[in-house]
């Protein structure tokens, strides 16, 4: 379907305004608002005047949308829906629409998404006679402005941060557009809010928002519209323009400018120049953001390397020996997240002290928390502090509102001779005692908060007894989140079942059997989180 649109007000001009547009496979909304597929900018035309709909191959109808709006078809008033034929002419205000159905079409009504967008556009109307166009429109620049744009591009490419980009843009546009005020705003995410905005008027820095700010944000950032308003109807503002900062990914910001009352009306050349400037600025903003993202990724990778190095240095190098206790441990790093660490100590009185922990924080903060926890733990053990007192001290030490950290931890003191156990836990660390028949009893209370979250929490201790033939098992989150070759996680239930199958064995044998059961996950799968397993087996008297 073709429409030849003529502005009858220009018929006496040397070059009358005549446009020829083609549409197919869709409905065409007509009206004064820029949200219509065919905008007829005139204050006498209804905002949403009418609709041309396909009915099938080579058949179209016109349907009025505003009962108060007048439309003529071949000179006769249109009362309701009417089918269009070749060479018919619709008269809407000062515009004539000559219809030609020479493009085969199939029935396709507007999608609900388009109707929702149409309703949303009504929430952001523009003043009458506003011009709205898309990025695909060709622009023209005079030689002076081309030279200014070349010089601007050279200066723009030397900028290294967004603040410099904004200032450079203001320096160019304020005098070139003879503007009263120019605003430039950018964002880092295509779906995020505008994060940085600078504005300047012809008297110096400016801190206010422009007229129609919400409408410009929606139309420029979401719909990628380029807008020129010849008359705002405002007391102090004559004319305005708004253009998006388009990148290869989408709109990363927008430029808005206005003029003083009775001083200047932005014309087509001004909109073309602002469009060209916005293209350069959008490209530079994207380049800066990409560079920042790359730098941040490299920095994060370096931080992760440091965290891994701290972990390796904190791993127990020489495991103490006890006649009545057997200890076996396994660790494997995660591919997405790191944070596990543990320790094993022989106290001066012969007791065994062990802990398994997982810290959740940014890499540098996690490395710091690991070192602080390990140092505080060893000093507290030398002072014979009970586990729950250690947790209270760690909680006070690690708590930081500005740089938060979450420590999941289980601390144990064991008497090798009697099997007496004193312990305290925080957060989610797997802790159970496996009896000599393979039955587990779980020692963790999931309602106890992590260390570092609640500064005033009073952690409580608990006691138990590790009988001869029983095994204490400590394990971290990664044991449950490890994924098989098909991407399915193992889950804590299946991990515990595999752990229970090794009951009654020495620690090393039980761990070997557990790892054999998990071999499909550990060899062919992916551990997103660190995996840490610590087994403490109380040797029976006959062993």
Which strands form 251-260's sheet, in the order they lie side by side? 131-133, 226-229, 237-246, 251-260, 181-186, 196-201, 204-205
Is the pLDDT reported for residue 106 higher than 50?
no
* pLDDT at res. 360: 93
Q: pLDDT, tens digit, for every residue of 133-184? A: 887 778 888 999 999 999 999 999 999 889 999 999 999 999 999 999 999 9
Which CATH number applies to 315-538: 3.40.640.10, 3.40.50.720, 3.40.1190.20, 3.60.40.10? 3.60.40.10
At 315, is the secondary structure helix, strand, or coil?
coil
* pLDDT at res. 92: 93
Given the structure tokens 């006959």, which residue do they identify?
542
Is the pLDDT reported for residue 246 higher than 70?
yes
Q: pLDDT, tens digit, for every residue of 344-390? A: 999 999 999 999 999 999 888 999 999 999 999 999 999 989 999 99
224: Cβ contacts below 8 Å, ≥ 6 apart: 134, 135, 244, 246, 250, 251
Handedness of CA 443, 447, 452, 458 (dihedral sign): negative
What are the tokens at 32? 């004064």
Q: Which long-range contacts (CB under 8 A, 24 or more apart) does 156-161 make?
A: 156/280, 156/281, 156/284, 157/284, 159/284, 159/288, 160/288, 161/288
In this predicted model, which residue has the larger pLDDT, 136 or 336?
336
Q: pLDDT, tens digit, for every residue of 182-228? A: 999 999 888 888 989 999 998 888 888 999 999 999 999 988 999 99
Instruction: For residues 299-322, give the mean pLDDT.
Output: 79
Among 67-76, 382-391, 438-447, 501-510, which range has the highest average pLDDT? 382-391
Which strand (E) or helix (H) includes residue 297?
Answer: helix 268-314
Give how far Cα 92 sits from Cα of 62, 96, 97, Å.
Answer: 12, 6, 8
Count helices and strands in the chain by DSSP H and E runs? 11, 28
> Residues spanned by CATH 3.30.450.40 within the chain?
143-291
Q: Percentage of the chain with pLDDT > 70?
A: 93
**Dist. CA 437–CA 426, nearest whole Å:** 28
Mean pLDDT of the chain: 87
* pLDDT at res. 25: 60
In this predicted model, which residue has the larger pLDDT, 293 or 120?
293
In this predicted model, which residue has the larger pLDDT, 24 or 1?
1
* pLDDT at res. 187: 93
Q: pLDDT, tens digit, for every residue of 455-467? A: 889 999 999 999 9
Output the 3-class SS for 6-35.
Answer: EEHHHCCCCCCCEEEEECCCCCEEEECCCC
Looking at the chain, how many residues does it have? 543
**Dist. CA 58–CA 466, nearest whole Å:** 86
In this predicted model, which residue has the larger pLDDT, 336 or 450?
450
Write the DSSP assignment of 90-125 as a string of letters: EEETTEEEEEE--S-----PPPHHHHHHHHHHTTS-
Is the pLDDT reported for residue 111 higher than 50?
no
In this predicted model, which residue has the larger pLDDT, 92 or 120?
92
Which strand (E) or helix (H) includes residue 131?
Answer: strand 131-133
Q: pLDDT, tens digit, for every residue of 433-443? A: 999 888 999 99
**Dist. CA 31–CA 47, nearest whole Å:** 5
Q: Domain 2-123, what fold?
A: Tumour Suppressor Smad4 (2.60.200)
Query: Could you tell me if 389 and 357 are in contact, meaning their C-beta atoms sit under 8 angstroms apart?
Result: no
**Dist. CA 391–CA 409, nearest whole Å:** 9
Which strand (E) or helix (H) includes residue 54?
Answer: strand 50-56
Q: pLDDT, tens digit, for every residue of 264-290? A: 899 989 999 999 999 999 999 999 988
In this predicted model, which residue has the larger pLDDT, 18 or 351?
351
Is the pLDDT reported for residue 128 higher than 50?
yes
Q: What backbone torsions phi and psi does residue 511 show, to the nearest 5 degrees?
A: -65, -40
Q: At 120, is the pLDDT very low, low, confident or very high (cuts 50, 70, 90)?
A: low
Write the DSSP assignment of 271-290 as a string of letters: HHHHHHHHHHHHHHHHHHHH
> Residues spanned by CATH 3.60.40.10 within the chain?
315-538
Is the pLDDT reported for residue 452 higher than 90?
yes
* pLDDT at res. 542: 47
Instruction: For residues 468-494, give the mean pLDDT.
Output: 91
Under CATH, which architecture does the 143-291 domain have? 2-Layer Sandwich (3.30)
> Residues spanned by CATH 2.60.200.20 within the chain?
2-123
Instruction: For residues 56-65, give the mean pLDDT.
Output: 81
Query: CA angle at residue 219 from 218 to 225, to 5 degrees?
Result: 155
């Amino acid at each position: 379907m073709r429409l030849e649109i003529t502005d009858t007000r220009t018929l006496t001009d040397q070059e009358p305004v005549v446009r020829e547009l083609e549409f197919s496979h869709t409905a065409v909304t007509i009206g004064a608002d820029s949200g219509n597929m065919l905008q007829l900018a005139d204050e006498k035309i209804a905002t949403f005047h009418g609709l041309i709909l396909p009915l099938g191959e080579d058949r179209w109808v016109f349907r009025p949308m505003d009962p108060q709006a007048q439309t003529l078809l071949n000179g006769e008033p249109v009362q309701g829906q009417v089918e269009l034929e070749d060479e018919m002419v619709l008269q809407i205000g000062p515009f004539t629409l000559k219809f030609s159905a020479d493009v085969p079409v199939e029935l396709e009504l507007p999608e609900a998404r388009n109707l929702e967008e149409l309703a949303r556009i009504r929430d952001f109307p523009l003043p009458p006679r506003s011009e709205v166009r898309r990025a695909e429109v060709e622009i023209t620049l005079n030689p002076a402005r081309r030279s200014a744009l070349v010089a601007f591009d050279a200066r723009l490419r030397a900028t290294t941060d967004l603040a410099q980009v904004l200032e450079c843009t203001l320096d160019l546009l304020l005098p070139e557009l003879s503007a009263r005020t120019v605003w430039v705003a950018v964002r880092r995410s295509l779906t995020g809010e505008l994060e940085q905005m600078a504005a300047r008027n012809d008297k110096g820095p400016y801190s206010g928002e422009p007229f129609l700010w919400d409408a410009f944000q929606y139309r420029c950032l979401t719909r990628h519209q380029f807008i020129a308003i010849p008359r705002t109807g405002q007391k102090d503002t004559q004319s305005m323009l708004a253009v998006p900062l388009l990148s290869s990914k989408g709109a990363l910001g927008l430029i808005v400018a206005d003029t003083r009352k009775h001083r200047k009306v932005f014309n087509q050349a001004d909109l073309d120049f602002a469009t060209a400037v916005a293209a350069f600025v959008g490209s530079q903003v994207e380049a800066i953001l990409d560079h920042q993202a790359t730098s941040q990724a490299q920095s994060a990778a370096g931080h992760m390397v440091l965290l891994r190095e701290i972990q390796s240095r904190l791993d127990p190098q020489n495991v103490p020996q006890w006649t009545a206790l057997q200890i076996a441990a396994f660790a494997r790093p995660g591919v997405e997240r790191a944070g596990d660490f543990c320790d094993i100590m022989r106290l001066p009185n012969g007791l065994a002290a062990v802990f398994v922990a997982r810290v959740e924080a940014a890499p540098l903060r996690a490395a710091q928390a690991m070192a602080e926890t390990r140092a505080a733990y060893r000093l507290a053990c030398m002072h014979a502090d009970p586990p729950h007192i250690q947790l209270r001290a760690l909680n006070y030490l690690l708590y930081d509102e500005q740089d938060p950290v979450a420590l999941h931890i289980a601390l144990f003191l064991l008497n090798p001779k009697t099997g007496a156990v004193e312990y305290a836990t925080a957060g989610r660390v797997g802790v159970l005692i496996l009896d000599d028949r393979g039955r587990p009893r779980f020692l963790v209370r999931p309602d106890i908060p992590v260390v570092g979250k609640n500064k005033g929490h009073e952690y409580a201790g608990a006691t138990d007894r590790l009988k001869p033939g029983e095994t204490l098992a400590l394990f971290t989150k990664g044991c449950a989140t490890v994924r098989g070759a098909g991407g399915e996680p193992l889950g804590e239930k299946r991990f515990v079942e595999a752990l229970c199958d090794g009951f009654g064995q020495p620690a090393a044998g039980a761990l070997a059997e557990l790892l054999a059961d998990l071999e499909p996950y550990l060899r062919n799968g992916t551990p997103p989180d660190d995996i840490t397993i610590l087994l403490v087996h109380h040797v029976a008297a006959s062993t």
